[in-house]
Structure 1
Amino acid sequence: IIRTLFFFSGNIIGSGIFISPKGVLEHSGSVGLALIIWVLGGGITILGSLCYAELGVAIPKSGGDYSYVTEVFGGLAGFLLLWSAVLIMYPTSLAVIALTFSNYVLQPVFPDCIPSYHASRVLSTVCLLLLTWVNCSSVRLATRIQDVFTAGKLLALGLIIVIGLVQICREKVFHIIPNLEFKWMAPSVGQVALAFLQGSFAFSGWNFLNYVTEELVDPRRNLPRAIFISIPLVTFVYAFTNIAYFTAMSPQELLSSNAVAVTFGEKLLGVMSCVMPISVALSTFGGINGYLFTSSRLCFSGAREGHLPSFLAMIHLKHCTPIPALLVCVSSIYSLVLSNTFVFI
């Protein structure tokens, strides 16, 4: 159950918590409403996760959304969902996360300017190729990498939260004072919706555990347990991370920052500020690994149902990994092409 928790939490906690706070604050219009949106976003995610816990127990198939849509609404709906995910949703998500990884890794190398275009693309390529090889080689190695990087993410976010709590104990809190939290801008309904959309990016991955249901040990017990524990934990971490950000930065400073965690580190960590870009890089690296791991199972499930070429349902005899699904459907080559052209889309 602990490894399942690590895998699930690692898939949720990615680059979103380091990118989304700016968008949530910008559209919500005040610190108080931004914090409320983070908590409510976690509540909505919990409701969806509870539904998926029931579905995972009732329909114990790998493939997540695709398997459930196919089972309930028929083959056509499942076919359309599968191909949209394979051609659009997963490759673009992998491209964004890979570019985020390379930009944060290169930030210390290019401290006073935007990282080199070619350097960021090459590093994205290396990252995608390396993790595709890992996922092709061994399920155990892929899950171990996910465990290690999940621990790194939680330590980094724990450091931010602890520093924020220290700031609160020292009464250096200027931007989360109750009578000032909601004074700034009255947002429209559309802006609140956009704020929720920005926050939902940080919670993406909450349904990934259902993509590997058949590979879980005792899924009827461990799947619901992992969901019940992980989502409240992630919501707690996200809410307190944002509170920590506001103990160090004004709303205007946060909105002007292109790397919130890095700005936070520069203001409070001094010479140790390099920890923040490294932490974000660790987080995004683990996120790419999780995306590759789960999306390959989606392709495998689709091929097994006849909605993709049948060879994608093949499993390597020795490594027990879906190598054809990894190489063809969510391969680093396809994501590599997208990551090199994504800037023009």
Structure 2
Amino acid sequence: MATAQDVAATPPAELEPLATSSQTGSKGDEGGDGEGTSGVKLKKELGLTEGIAIIVGIIVGSGIFVSPKGVLEYSGSIGVALIVWGVSGLLSTVGALCYAELGTMIPRSGGDYAYIHEAFGPLMAFLYLWVALVIIMPTGNTVIALTFANYILQPLFSDCDAPPDIPVRLLAAVVICFLTWVNCSNVKWATKVQDIFTGAKLLALVIIVAAGVYHLATGNLDNYQKPFEGTNWEPAAFATAFYQGLFSFAGWNYLNFVVEELKDPYKNLPRAIMISMPTVTIIYFLANVAYFSVLTRTEVLSSNAVAVSFGNRMLGVMNWTMPFFVACSTFGSLNGGIFASSRLFFVGAREGHLPQVLSLININNFTPVPSLVFLGFMTVFMLITSDMHILINYISFSESLFILMSIAALLWLRYKEPNRHRPIKVWLGFPILFFVICLFLVVLPIIQRPIELGVAIGVIIIGIPVYYFAIYREDKPKWFIRFTEKVTFTTQILCAGVPEEKDE
């Protein structure tokens, strides 16, 4: 076992080669807990319960409390908005089943990165990693942190339409830093936080659904008299409405990022997906039925905190519970997002597509501390803006594009390697359907918001010269090599970090 003195004495040029996915096999790969494995590496500490908690905990975060406004705004009517919510859940379930095939066929952490790399090579995999680094992961976590701050501060500024911007950003930064520290300290702490707050957020949604059912049962059906009035039938608007709805289901593929830490992944990955996705879809649909039964279309569109507005109307003196439960929900979702997305950067660095410093593991806690700290920094940096709906559009477009590529990878590998071992093999119609839907979601919104999404496309294009200079090019400048070595060596000392060790 490496010691802190060993870390300090190991210059970057002498670091052991990083373990590849094929070298990370252990007792845990066969369903064990991984405690008996030797070496410094990520441990298999996630069972079925933790897997369900990660999926549900990440999905049920800010989206269900923010996106109802966006879905209704772009769909135009309550009826179509409910259809968007139901279809979004079904599509996410189909996508999750496709990822179950990918995750058991290519049982490596990193999710989309691993699948795109396997099918289309290093450049396309790097571009996904680049966009995830710059846009998808930090921006998604920022949206959740801002939602947490908005809801927890709402009772303190009840006379205002929304809390002041500066306190919201400061509180969001604090919670990001705190949960980054938790994830750096102990994997079991992080998963325990996930388990507890998943229960809290589901309780909040159960309260919303129960109150809505009671409201409807007492004859309050006025808001459903003309459910399709005002529908916006433009295809681009439909695509944007689905962006907002699918954002609320974002996270269904995050368990694939941590497959190497999942006990018996061939069984627990598909089981976690099949338990989590129908549960979330049903709860989301019923929650929106409840929202629209109590709040009029105008009230939903004018509210920055739909669940709080709902609580103020239905819960009386207990209306303070709704901001509290929503804060718990977003807190748990942010924790899960930090846990899973940091592993993507760890895997990318291990494969040589990000600086080696991000592949270091703390020798005491077996956590990827540099990757977590870097993700925390990027997430705090995204607080330069607090406009969550613009952030959601950036995330949704980028994610849709690379999910499209992952599904294309599944179809390509079906054609190229038809006899490859697939513990799970979904009906071919599922990936074809999901591919077409993702293509629709990528192309149409560009027509409606070319400038906004042009920024995301520009970030992707910038990744090509970055790949050439930092990854593909062998004769890198000496100053660049010396700089990266110094950064790696300094980080080793500060974080007591070493590369992942190979099995003997």
Question: What TM-score, normalized by structure 2, do the two folds share?
Answer: 0.66
For 2:241 and 2:378, the matched residues in 1 are separated by: 31
Work out whether residues 62 and 330 of structure 2, in 8 Å CA contact, stay in contact via their aligned partners in 1: yes
Show CA shifts across 1:260-303 (max 9, x none): 11111111111111111112211111121111101110011001
Is the 2:99–2:253 contact (alpha carbons within 8 Å) kept by the matching residues of 1?
yes
> Where do 1:196-215 residues align within 5 Å?
196-215=242-261
Is the CA contact 2:74–2:232 (under 8 Å) kept in the aligned structure 1? Answer: no
Which of 315, 326, 330 in structure 2 is aligned with 1:269?
315
- Equivalent residue for 2:175? 127
Separation in 1, partners of 2:328, 2:196: 9
Aligned partners of 1:18 and 1:261 also within 8 Å: yes
Mapped contact 1:35–1:239 kept (Cα < 8 A): yes
**Alignment RMSD:** 1.5
Q: Report the alpha carbon displacement of residue 343 of structure 1 after superposing the two structures with TM.
A: 4.1
Corresponding residue for residue 39 of structure 1: 86
How far apart, in 2, do the equivalents of 1:124 and 1:23 lie? 22
CA distance in 1, matches of 2:373, 2:287: 37
Q: What is the match of residue 168 of structure 1?
A: 216
Match of 1:342 among 385, 390, 396: 385
Stretch moving more, 115-124 or 234-243: 115-124
**8 A contact 2:77–2:227 mirrored in 1:** yes
Q: Distance in 1 between matches of 2:219 and 2:347?
A: 54
* One-letter identity of the residue aligned with 1:172: N
Superposed displacement of residue 173, structure 1? 2.2
- Mapped partners of 1:121, 1:225: distance in 2: 38
Work out the CA distance in 1 between the residues paired with 2:268 and 2:196. Answer: 20
Equivalent positions of 1:57-96 (< 5 A) are: 57-96=104-143
1:136 maps onto 2:184 in alignment: yes
8 Å CA contact 2:148, 2:327 repeated in 1:
yes
Task: Give the match for residue 76 of structure 2.
Answer: 29
State the match for 2:350 in structure 1. 304
Shift of 1:122: 2.0
- State how many pairs are aligned: 340
Match of 1:108 in 2: 155
1:160–1:244 CA contact under 8 A, matched in 2: yes
Give the 3 Å change call, closer, same or farther, for CA 343–22 of structure 1 in structure 2.
closer
1:5 maps to 2:52? yes
Indicate the larger mover: 19-28 or 186-195.
186-195
Match of 1:151 among 196, 199, 206: 199
Cα shift readout 1:238-258 (whole Å, capped 9, x = no counterpart): 100000111211112211212
- The sequence identity of aligned pairs, in percent, is 50
Shift of 1:43: 1.0
- Residue 34 of structure 1, CA deviation: 1.0
Asked whether the 8 Å contact 2:142–2:382 carries over to 1, the reply is yes
Which residue of structure 2 aligns with residue 229 of structure 1?
275
In the TM superposition, residue 57 of structure 1 has moved relative to its aligned partner by 0.4
Counterpart of 2:12 in structure 1 is none
Who is 2:373 aligned against? 327
Aligned-pair CA distance for 1:139: 0.2
Post-superposition shift, 1:322? 0.6
Partner of 2:101: 54
Could you say if the C-alpha distance between residues 183 and 338 of structure 1 is closer, same or farther in structure 2, counting changes exceeding 3 Å?
A: closer
* Alignment map for 1:276-315 (pairs within 5 Å): 276-315=322-361
8 A Cα contact 2:72 2:78, kept in partner:
yes
Give 3-state SS (helix, strand or coil) of 1:145's partner.
helix
2:290 aligns with 244
Q: Output the CA distance in 1 between the equivalents of 2:131 and 2:300.
A: 35
CA contact (8 A) 1:164 1:245 kept: yes
Deviation of 1:168 after TM superposition, in Å, equals 2.2
User: What SS does the aligned partner of 2:91 have?
Assistant: helix
Gaps spanning 5+ residues in structure 2: where? 1-47, 391-504
Give per-residue Cα distances to partners, 1:153-202, cap 9 Å, x unaligned: 1000000001111122222222234xx22233352222211111110110
Structure 1 residue 117: deviation in Å?
Answer: 2.9
- SS of the equivalent of 1:335 reads helix
**Correspondence 1:183 to 2:226:** no
Give the TM-score, by structure 1 length.
0.95
State the shift of 1:78 in Å: 0.7
SS in 1 for 2:223: coil
How many Å apart are 1:237 and its aligned residue? 0.6
Q: What amino acid is the match of 1:336? A: V
Q: Check the 8 A contact 1:61/1:213 in 2, yes or no.
A: yes
- Contact 1:27-1:187 at 8 Å conserved across structures: no
Q: Deviations over 1:80-130 (max 9, x none)?
A: 111111122212222222122111111111111232333222211210111
Aligned equivalents of 1:334, 1:38: Cα separation in 2: 30
Large movers: runs of 4+ above 6 Å: none
**1:195 correspondence with 2:238:** no
Instruction: State the distance in 2 between where 1:314 and 1:17 align.
Output: 35
